[in-house]
Amino acid sequence: MALLDVQNLCISFGGLRAVDDFEIHIEKGQLYGLIGPNGAGKTTVFNLLTGVYKPNEGIIRLDGTDITGKKTIEINKAGIARTFQNIRLFKGMSVLDNVKVGLHNHYQYSSLAGIFRTPSYRRVEKEMNERARELLEVFDLAGEADFLASNLPYGKQRKLEIARALATDPKLLLLDEPAAGMNPNETRELMDTIRLIRDRFDMTILLIEHDMKLVSGICEALSVLNFGRILAQGETGAVLNDPQVITAYLGE
Amino acid sequence: MSLLSYLINGISLGSVYAIIALGYTMVYGIAKMLNFAHGDVIMVGGYVVFIMTSGMGLPPVLAVLVSMLVCTVLGMVIERVAYKPLRMAASPLAVLITAIGVSYLLQNLALLLFGANTKSFKSVVTIPPLVLAEGQLTISGETIVTIIACIVIMAGLTLFIKKTRAGQAMLAVSEDKGAAQLMGINVNGTIALTFAIGSALAAVAGVLLCSTYPSLSPYTGAMPGIKAFVAAVFGGIGSIPGAMIGGILLGIIEILGKAYISSQMADAIVFAVLIVVLLVKPTGILGKEIQEKV
Amino acid sequence: MKKMNPTTKYNMITYAVVIVAYILVAALGAAGHISSLMEGLLVPLCIYVILAVSLNLVVGILGELSLGHAGFMCVGAFAGSFFSMCTKEAMPGGLRFFLALVIGAVTAALFGILIGIPVLRLRGDYLAIVTLAFGEIIKNLMNVLYIGRDESGFHFSMKDSVALGLSPEGKTILNGPQGITGTPHDASFTIGVLLILLTLFIILNLIHSRDGRAIMAIRDNLIAAESVGIHVTRYKLMAFTLSASLAGVAGVLYAHNLSTLTALPKNFGYNMSIMILVFVVLGGIGNIRGSVISAVVLTLLPELLRGLSDYRMLIYAVVLIAMMLFNWSPKAVEFRERYSWKRLLHLPSGSGQSTGK
């Protein structure tokens, strides 16, 4: 059974069908790409998958559970985490705390324990710090743990956002244009990081990207979206050679 | 008959709210900020007229015109000095808190200049009251002037926005500041113009308010200002007819509440209206919904 | 010795500032160096500090502007005072005041929840104006409420004290616009300082806990907070309610420092809420220690410089505007970053470092 199974997903905004009859099946451990021209509805698909928008029609199943129409919070708890096209960090908080917010639902103590700093508070906080530092280590951010998130350079902000998403311990990670604004070196580094996440965390990843080098370099399968509809879908090499895709998207 | 006279008083008070609410709603629609000091501009308008008529004995019409001019300049200065630098600030609270500061500043300047005691304001309206139904129903001259002023302002403003370039620019800026700028519209100028019009209207509202309720103190504008914002929200913030409808409904609710429920609770009733509106239909009667882009 | 963690150090310094100030004042008082005017200011000072610190939880940590803080103070004041009036003869002073504080805090918290549930769904400006409206409604309500007690129990009215229909032995406790008269004078500077320390303890520890991080995450980016599974409504309500209950505590302290408690625009109106906001803004939004210091300085300064007291509010207003422009205007921010002393001195900077993007 597919980890993510989406069928007949539709949403309209004021009569305009932003996403129409969208379907996707992602196997566990797969690195999947969602591509398409600007305004094709890619981010809208992410917003539908994460409950920011409620679909008009369709079914979203994660690991066999129906999560259609659920709230963002519940969907995150069910196992989908994401990053944003325009980075959304907790800018007034430290890099470490950004990740610790991601760990929020996995490490618990009561409010009173927090205020009175009971032994359980100290123990859990210590565990959280260790776990958060581990994650920062993976993204080469451990040295900046005490920096204010807004003071990180752009590339590192993107990485921190991924680290924070991973902290919620998802089954599926959605990355919205992770390479946007990066130079070729940073992009190459990012590709390694994404592969590393997949291997090390046994993660399933769905990403939106415009950088074709990145897409063809790491994605095993692709869906191409055009005007809210699926244009082509399947194994990366085959999709990228599809004449329809080339005229609609790559040929420009 | 008493109900009818309450209704007329309500419409009159509501017309004042509507004129003040226009200032709020235009500024909110275009600069996307709550100009907390708007109510205090009303008070300044009142004092200017008071000094010119009671102090210097000048004709009321001249006093009102000067008052409008003073408030227009004041509104533009406030916008330029206190709000414009914060237009792109990281926190949306910044400009709101500054507006509260400006409100505080105007009140306390008035307190220092004119003292805390309430001045009795001599009405600028000289029209005799209208006596109807064999003396059972009297409509004061102030009421008549207020209602007429409200209708004229409303019609004038609608025409201005529909027919002039500046009015169209206002609409464009309220829709999308960035796009308007790209289309060659002077966004800063348009925002300044909005403040100028709103403040001139505040001066008119101040004169009408002080004429109907003949007293003036540094705090005169604060409560009507807040209530007019309630009216703007009630009608749907950003909408000009909304401000009108909201203002008049609120005036009627306040006067009827005072008459039939409790005079001490009249303010509480007005605020309860705000809370109910925001919970049931946060966009108000004529407002439209805005959603944040993810 | 183990090195102290920076947040613990920050907290300890904050407590120490309060304790040292207390000892200083107590010593001056014992030596007879404090004028009666200053002495009369000590308890209000504690009240303002508690109000400022608790408002900072909503404005600085949660990032929402509440203009109804005085309303919660009003609720706490009347609830606590009412309790003390009812148990005046039945209980020893210490226990009674302790219970009054608890009751004031709980009642204000209940109002916080009641008001918070609908209001916290709203955005910035709307939230500000609705909290202002609630504060005014509470103040208005207190002016039309009459409560009395006789041997058959409590009597309520919203008309006047005659309508209570009390028996000859009965007593009016809450008398509409005349408020409550005869609340025992239980408040003292020492208790005030203890309550400040308690407030600081709760808020500083909250900020550095799981809950505090969730609250700040909502402030910084609501959509991102939801995306990592933070229950936005719950944490907004938590911060709002806690802030309200601490304002309630300040209210109880206020009520037990006066013989007559009335709800006037001066003490519980929105002008009071705005004055507390001024303390918060001047101390630095989100800066807890700053709130303590600014509340003290802004209360004492105009009193110490007698000539200034006429200009007190005017100065507040000017400073408020100037501070906001200096701290938040993008141009000023850029200017400060370019000429910050850290940068000019080429100091290795940690969390305050600015990096070119």
Q: What is the DSSP letter of C5?
A: P
- Encoded amino acid at A242, one letter: D
Contacts of C69 in chain B (CB under 8 A): none
Distance from CA of C313 to the nearest CA of B (A): 6
* Subunits with 3+ C-beta pairs closer than 8 A to B: A, C
Name, of A166-170, B176-180, B215-219, C294-298, the range with top average pLDDT: A166-170
C155-207 residue pLDDT tens: 888 888 888 888 888 888 998 889 999 899 999 999 999 999 999 999 999 99
Are β-strands B215-216 and B119-120 bridged in parallel, bridged antiparallel, or unpaired? antiparallel
Q: What is the ipTM of this complex?
A: 0.93
Please check whether residues A65 and A92 belong to one and the same domain. Answer: no
Instruction: Give pLDDT, residue B1.
Output: 62
Q: What is the mean pLDDT of the segment spanning C6-17? A: 89
- The encoded tokens of residue C195 equal 């309550």
* Structural domain count, chain A: 2
Q: B231 — contact with chain C (CB < 8 Å)?
A: no
Q: What is the mean pLDDT of the segment spanning B29-50? A: 92
Instruction: Give the CA angle between residues C204, A110, C9 to the nearest 5°.
Output: 25
8 A C-beta contact, residue C214 and residue A98: no
* Structural domain count, chain B: 1
Q: Examine residue C181 and state whether it is found in any structural domain, yes or no.
A: yes
Contacts of C61 in chain A (CB under 8 A): none
Which residues, 6+ apart, have CB-to-CB distance to C98 below 8 Å? none
Please check whether residues A161 and A176 belong to one and the same domain. Answer: no
Q: Examine residue B251 and state whether it is found in any structural domain, yes or no.
A: no
Lowest average pLDDT, out of A172-176, A246-250, B65-69, goes to A246-250
The CATH number of whichever domain residue C298 belongs to comes to 1.10.3470
The CATH number of whichever domain residue A251 belongs to comes to 3.40.50.300
Instruction: Give pLDDT, residue B65.
Output: 95
Contacts of C126 in chain B (CB under 8 A): 233, 278, 282
Q: Examine residue C336 and state whether it is found in any structural domain, yes or no.
A: no
Q: Examine residue B62 and state whether it is found in any structural domain, yes or no.
A: yes
8 A C-beta contact, residue A95 and residue A141: yes
Q: Which of C206, C216, C223 has its CB closest to that of A114?
A: C206
Please check whether residues A184 and A123 belong to one and the same domain. Answer: no
Boundaries of domain holding A62: 1-79+170-252
Please check whether residues A175 and A60 belong to one and the same domain. Answer: yes
8 A C-beta contact, residue B22 and residue B195: no
* Structural domain count, chain C: 1
Q: A46 — contact with chain C (CB < 8 Å)?
A: no
- Band of residue C4 on the pLDDT scale cut at 50, 70, 90: low
Distance from CA of A14 to the nearest CA of C (A): 23
Select from A83, A104, A105, A108 the residue whose CB has the most chain C CBs within 10 Å, as the one to mutate to test that interface: A104
Question: Does pLDDT of B100 surpass 70?
Answer: yes
Instruction: Give pLDDT, residue C89.
Output: 84
Q: A234 — contact with chain C (CB < 8 Å)?
A: no
Contacts of A43 in chain B (CB under 8 A): 294
The residue of chain A nearest to residue C228, with distances taken between CA atoms, is A102
The residue of chain C nearest to residue B233, with distances taken between CA atoms, is C126
8 A C-beta contact, residue C295 and residue C279: yes
The residue of chain A nearest to residue C231, with distances taken between CA atoms, is A73
The residue of chain B nearest to residue C120, with distances taken between CA atoms, is B279
Q: Which residue has the higher pLDDT, C108 or C267?
A: C108
Three-class SS state of C157: strand
What number of other Cβ atoms are within 10 A of residue A29's Cβ? 13
Distance from CA of B86 to the nearest CA of C (A): 5
Question: Does pLDDT of C333 surpass 90?
Answer: no
Among B128, C120, C217, C322, smallest CA distance to A76 is for: C217
Please check whether residues A73 and A194 belong to one and the same domain. Answer: yes
Contacts of C227 in chain A (CB under 8 A): 50, 72, 76, 81-82, 84, 88, 165
Which residues, 6+ apart, have CB-to-CB distance to C144 below 8 Å? B262, B264, B265, C158, C176
Q: A84 — contact with chain B (CB < 8 Å)?
A: yes
Please check whether residues A5 and A39 belong to one and the same domain. Answer: yes
Boundaries of domain holding B155: 16-229
Please check whether residues A131 and A247 belong to one and the same domain. Answer: no
Boundaries of domain holding C270: 6-304
Q: Examine residue C134 and state whether it is found in any structural domain, yes or no.
A: yes
8 A C-beta contact, residue B108 and residue B116: no
Q: What is the mean pLDDT of the segment spanning B39-46? A: 95
Contacts of A47 in chain B (CB under 8 A): 294
8 A C-beta contact, residue B105 and residue C318: yes
B128-186 residue pLDDT tens: 888 877 777 788 888 899 999 999 999 999 999 999 999 999 989 988 888 888 888 99
Q: Which of C206, C219, C351 has its CB closest to that of A148?
A: C351
Interface list for C 37-76 with B (CB within 8 A):
59, 63, 65, 67
Instruction: Give pLDDT, residue C1.
Output: 44
Q: A148 — contact with chain B (CB < 8 Å)?
A: no
Question: Does pLDDT of B292 surpass 90?
Answer: no
Q: C227 — contact with chain B (CB < 8 Å)?
A: no
Question: Does pLDDT of C350 surpass 60?
Answer: no
Contacts of C63 in chain B (CB under 8 A): 91, 93
Distance from CA of C137 to the nearest CA of B (A): 5
Q: Examine residue B236 and state whether it is found in any structural domain, yes or no.
A: no
Helical (H) or strand (E) element with C156: strand C153-157
- The encoded tokens of residue C89 equal 């003869």
Q: What is the mean pLDDT of the segment spanning C115-131? A: 84
Please check whether residues A147 and A187 belong to one and the same domain. Answer: no
Distance from CA of C159 to the nearest CA of B (A): 9
The residue of chain C nearest to residue A47, with distances taken between CA atoms, is C227
- Band of residue C341 on the pLDDT scale cut at 50, 70, 90: low
pLDDT above 70 covers a percentage of chain A that reads: 98
Distance from CA of C342 to the nearest CA of B (A): 22
Q: What are phi and psi of A141, to 5 degrees?
A: -115, 0
Distance from CA of A33 to the nearest CA of B (A): 20
* Subunits with 3+ C-beta pairs closer than 8 A to C: A, B
Q: B133 — contact with chain A (CB < 8 Å)?
A: no
Interface list for B 146-185 with C (CB within 8 A):
none
Instruction: Give pLDDT, residue B77.
Output: 96
Are β-strands A221-226 and A31-35 bridged in parallel, bridged antiparallel, or unpaired? parallel
| Chain mean pLDDT for chain B | 89
Q: Examine residue B237 and state whether it is found in any structural domain, yes or no.
A: no
C235-278 residue pLDDT tens: 999 999 999 999 999 999 999 999 899 998 888 988 899 889 98
Contacts of A146 in chain C (CB under 8 A): 350-351
What secondary structure, in 3-state letters, does chain B show? CHHHHHHHHHHHHHHHHHHHHHHHHHHHHHHCCCCCCHHHHHHHHHHHHHHHHHHCCCCHHHHHHHHHHHHHHHHHHHHHHHHHHHCCCCCHHHHHHHHHHHHHHHHHHHHHHHCCCCEECCCCCCCCCEEEHHHCEEECHHHHHHHHHHHHHHHHHHHHHHHCHHHHHHHHHHHCHHHHHHCCCCHHHHHHHHHHHHHHHHHHHHHHHHHHCCEECCCCCHHHHHHHHHHHHHHCCCCHHHHHHHHHHHHHHHHHHHHHCCCCCHHHHHHHHHHHHHHHCCCCCCCCCCCCCC
What number of other Cβ atoms are within 10 A of residue B193's Cβ? 20
Distance from CA of A82 to the nearest CA of C (A): 7
A74-120 residue pLDDT tens: 999 999 999 999 999 999 999 999 999 999 999 999 999 999 999 99
Distance from CA of C233 to the nearest CA of B (A): 15
Domain boundary among A118, A137, A167: A167
A8 vs A27: CA distance, rounded Å: 18
Instruction: Give pLDDT, residue C345.
Output: 59
Which residues, 6+ apart, have CB-to-CB distance to C189 below 8 Å? C22, C25, C26, C42, C43, C46
Q: What is the mean pLDDT of the segment spanning A216-229? A: 92
Q: What is the mean pLDDT of the segment spanning A42-50? A: 94
Q: What is the mean pLDDT of the segment spanning A161-184? A: 94
- Encoded amino acid at C337, one letter: E
Q: Which of B34, B96, B108 has its CB closest to that of C317?
A: B108
| Cα dihedral sign, A88-A92-A95-A101 | negative
CB contact under 8 A, B34 and C329: no
Domain boundary among A167, A192, A207: A167
| Residues comprising chain B, all counted | 294
Q: What is the mean pLDDT of the segment spanning C320-324? A: 87
Q: Which of B92, B98, B294 has its CB closest to that of C325?
A: B98
